[in-house]
Structures are given as C-alpha cells and as structure tokens.
Structure 1
C-alpha cells in the first residue's frame, strides 16, 4: 500500500490548551516528531470546521462558515481565516456555499458529505447544489444520509479515507443495522473496499469517536475514550491501514464530551514553508531564552520579558488581542525551550500557567 504523505504538519486553536487532553496531544506529537503549531485569530477549538480544505499542495477551498448549531453563539464563529494562517503563495478557491469542514471527507478525486448540506443551503436549488460542490472541489460528490443522532451532520465521524478506492466505516453494526445497509448501498458503487469498525459487547457511548482520528503523514492518532473499546479500535485501524502506518492512541475524553474528537480540533496540511508569524515567535523565544541564560536569576512574567527583551523597557505593551496572542505564543515556545534545554529551572513549582492570565504571573527563573 502506498503511504498517504499528503500532510506533514498539524495546527490547533490556542483555546485547546484549556483542555486537559492538550498535554496528552502535545506530548504524543513531540514524541513522534510531528510538527505542529497554533493558529492565531481562532474563536473556537473546532478548527477543522472553518479552516479551508486542502485539495492539493498549496491549493485550498474556502467556504461560508455559518453553522446552524451556533446561530445563538455567533461569537464562536471564525470567519476571517486569513487572520489565522498565511495563505500567501497558496491558491485559495472561494465558494459561497455554506459548509462545515468536518463534513468533507476527501477521497482522492471524490468527496463524501452528508446530506445535511441541503439544510445548510436551503435557498440553493437542490439540483444545483451538488453541481456547485463538484465544481468548487473539482471532485465527484458522494452524498450519504445525515446520522441525525449527531446534531452537527458531519461525515468525519462516519467514514474515513484509507487509500485508492478504499474507505473505513464506523461501527454501525452494533448501533443501527438498517442505517448501515443504507450507507453501504450508497458507498459500494464508488469504492472497491469498505472496511468497518466493530466493537461488539465492548461498544460504549463514546466509541464513535475512535474513527475521528488525526492523520499526519503515516501517523494515525486515535482518540482514547473508554477502556472497553480503545484497544479494539487501535488494533482494527492498524490492521486496515497496514504496517506502513503507525497507529497510536491519545486520551481525549474532555473534547469528546463536547461532541468532537481529534480530527475536529485539528487542521493538518502539507506545508513547504514556515509562516512568518511562527518563525518570528520561535526567534523571539530563543532571544528570551538566551537572555535568561545570561542572568543568574530573574523574577517576572513572560509579558515582562517580552517588553524587556523584545520591545525594550521604554516601550508600552499593547493590550489588544494581537499583542496578547504574541505573548501567549512566546510563552508556549519559551517553556518548550526550558523543558528541553534543562539549563534554566523554575524555582516556584506551583501550578502557574494552568489558570488565569498565566503569562502575566511572575515566574522565578534561575540558571542551573
């Protein structure tokens, strides 16, 4: 089997760090040398749903993001994706169709979506909408019924692409046999091989989330949610994808309780460049780290360090959202350097950084 290396980096929203599972995600990616970053300007953790869909290297499709389930919480809708990622030198085709990215499963020259797309675009002709979608994605559209047990109407909890003419279906054998047969009748004409997950007596209410895994290159990270089906999920997914893939689990119960899993909170792409804002944060973190190495000790916040080392003492640190984000990103990278370098220690080992405005809390840095 040919390994699908179409993505080599994954991005998340900074808000994901408020969940306990972020520590597990971060450690697993670090341990497996998977590059990752945080997207500025996001308003929610579900980045899959609003970030453009990559159809080929540096070629994306953006769309109208107006989910009905957020009609009363519009403050969580991220509409300016250009403020989240530097799309310079990329081709971005824009479509006026209302779409959730979690409802688009790219399968080579095909895409799979649930028919909730019709509800989201009620003013568009049902006959015209499929043609518009195929034109936007330059791919054959395969529509499957909306599993109404899941209010978001996303396909990424129902089916995933394995490889050429090969897909993996979630465990409907243990949930709804009639619905399973309906799905198979629609998918079999388009795919030669359809594998299915099956947990039998080990199926639990959150077992659906295993299929909502994160795939970056030949790494597959499966959400772990319940000991009954966790091991079965990893074993079956490993068998389906084969020895060329490395399948591991990550505990993600917190986000699963919110209705999503690893694919929902991630945006994995093929990236042959480092965005300007990210390389800037890395450089600034090294500047601050090297400055701290020249001190015997220093007591202050990361915001203070940003002012002293990066801006200069005579500058005023702005309090707008952009500047705050810069300090947060600096904090994240600085503490990564401290944890990896072992040259600086934090004398105060309290739980700073977990609650409140952590980058404005004083830390006691001391050179070992």
Structure 2
C-alpha cells in the first residue's frame, strides 16, 4: 500500500475555495502551501469538503481502490451535518482516474495504513453486516487492500463517524501514535500490541484540556510536509513539540508546519479529513 510518507500530490475539495465560511481557512492554507512551494489541486463535483472520506484509496502507483461511499451519517437525516453525498465516480471521471471497485461500504477517514498493515474501526463490519460476516469483511479487506495485516479496533461511539484517523496514525512500519483521549483505553492498546505494533501517545498535561485537542492527530502528511492543525491554545505548542519528537526528519527540515484550523474543526474534521494525498509521477 502507498504510505502517507510516499505521497507527493495534494488535492482538496473545490468547496473550500468557494464557500464563504471556509474562504479564510482556504486562503491561509493556500498561502502556507505556496510559501513552501507545495502545489495542490482542487477536486470538481464535490458536495462536501471532506475529500478523504469519498476519494479512492491508493494501493499502488496505478491502483486506486473505490469503495461504496454510503456511510450511515449521510443516510440518516438526523446525521447529515457533514453535507450531502459526493459521487466518487463523477470526480474520478473528471480527473481521468481509473479505479478498482469494491462493494464494501466504508469511507477513507476510517482507513490508516502502513505499507503492509491497514487499521480500521469495526464500524466497517457493522455497515456491511447485511452482506458479509465479520470474517468475510476481514477477508475482503485483505484482498481489496492487498494488505498482509488487517486490524479492526473497537468503534468509540462517542465519535459518531466511526473514523480511525482521529484515534491513531502510523509513525513508522512498527509504531503507531495514539491520541491523548485514548491513552487509557487498554483494550485498544493491547489489541495493537497483540498485532505486533508498538504504541506511543500524544499527551497533554494541562489543567483543562480543550475539547477539540483531538484534532492534532488528524494532521495532513505527505513525503514533504506534516501540516498540523492548531487552535490558538496552550496545547498547540505541546502538540508541535511531540510531533517533532516522533517525526524528527520533518522537524529537521522545518516541515512540521502549524495551520489554524478552527473553521473546519468545528464541523467535525481536521486537515487529514479535508485532504486527499496521492503518489503521482
């Protein structure tokens, strides 16, 4: 599988530039990327800003996995706070991108991977229960992602979308970085370690943790940059220092870059959520 550290091309929904509520954020994002000479592109025909959720997952250079983007939060009127459904096929056709299709229901925010391992919350089992058993879902994930290892962790129901990219990220092939709010989740930690992964933790020792400090783990990562969401609070500096410790090569090259992101965080996602990163040559 293509790892974030192997990606070199950035895409965002065109809605970030056209919707008034996101224009200030998009201008800051554009300035930051332009100052670093990192090009980016806008995706057409998108109907919400969360490009990670509906765009295909890159498995190999010319292998893009397109899944059924029918998550429950778009099917229930009560949960339609993340916008209307984007039809992935329309976007890919406009890009001239060929995809390989799977009939599994999932979304990209529920996929974190290294080159050989993919981690998801077990919401993928719940959303596919009418068609596949848990074992069949796991077998299909192995096949579709061409992954040696598939790890399903329990869905934290306090996070309504069932995404994994607010829980943990890979530091390297052997180690994952876990968000502060899960540092005492022994079931999660033991499951990861049972599957041969080492664990590190993003932690904040402040008197009153900010309710949105979960967003730091949802950074945007390519081979050239870690773009870290910030909130203008004490935890910003602590998060920056820790990411620098865990990703020293990025820090050494001045490529861990903070970006104020409240305008998107208040809608339930951060910088990994709004980006689609691929390896293009």
> Is the shorter-chain TM-score for this pair beyond 0.5, marking a shared fold?
yes
Tell me the residue number matched to 1:68.
72
Structure 1 residue 208: Cα displacement? 0.1
Unmatched tracts of structure 1, length 5 or more: 273-368
Q: Structure 1 residues 102, 240: closer, same or farther in 2, change over 3 A?
A: same
Q: Give the aligned CA root-mean-square deviation in angstroms.
A: 1.9
Match of 1:215 among 221, 226, 229: 221
Tell me the residue number matched to 2:86.
78
Where does 1:126-137 land on structure 2 (aligned, <5 Å)?
A: 126-137=134-145
- Asked if 1 retains the 8 angstrom alpha-carbon contact of 2:215 and 2:265, the reply is yes
Q: What SS is found at the alignment partner of 1:243?
A: helix
Structure 1 residue 196: Cα displacement? 0.5
Alpha-carbon distance in structure 1 between the residues aligned to 2:87 and 2:266: 25
Larger Rg: 1
Alpha-carbon distance in structure 1 between the residues aligned to 2:165 and 2:12: 17
- Asked if 1 retains the 8 angstrom alpha-carbon contact of 2:109 and 2:273, the reply is yes
Match of 1:234 among 220, 229, 240: 240
Where does 1:254-333 land on structure 2 (aligned, <5 Å)?
A: 254-272=263-281
Tell me the residue number matched to 1:328.
none
Alpha-carbon distance in structure 2 between the residues aligned to 1:237 and 1:170: 12
Q: Deviations over 1:201-237 (max 9, x none)?
A: 1621000000000012131011002412111111101
Tell me the residue number matched to 2:14.
14
Tell me the residue number matched to 2:192.
187
Q: Structure 1 residues 212, 5: closer, same or farther in 2, change over 3 A?
A: closer
Pair 1:49 & 2:44 matched: no
Q: What SS is found at the alignment partner of 1:60?
A: strand
Structure 1 residue 59: Cα displacement? 1.5
Q: What SS is found at the alignment partner of 1:22?
A: helix
Alpha-carbon distance in structure 2 between the residues aligned to 1:75 and 1:16: 13
Unmatched tracts of structure 2, length 5 or more: none
Q: What SS is found at the alignment partner of 1:264?
A: helix
Alpha-carbon distance in structure 2 between the residues aligned to 1:191 and 1:227: 35
| TM-score normalised over the length of structure 1 | 0.68
Q: How many residues align?
A: 264
| TM-score normalised over the length of structure 2 | 0.88
Higher relative contact order structure (alpha carbons within 8 Å, sequence separation ≥ 6): 2
Structure 1 residue 119: Cα displacement? 1.9
- Asked if 1 retains the 8 angstrom alpha-carbon contact of 2:13 and 2:44, the reply is yes
Q: What SS is found at the alignment partner of 1:54?
A: strand
Alpha-carbon distance in structure 1 between the residues aligned to 2:87 and 2:250: 37
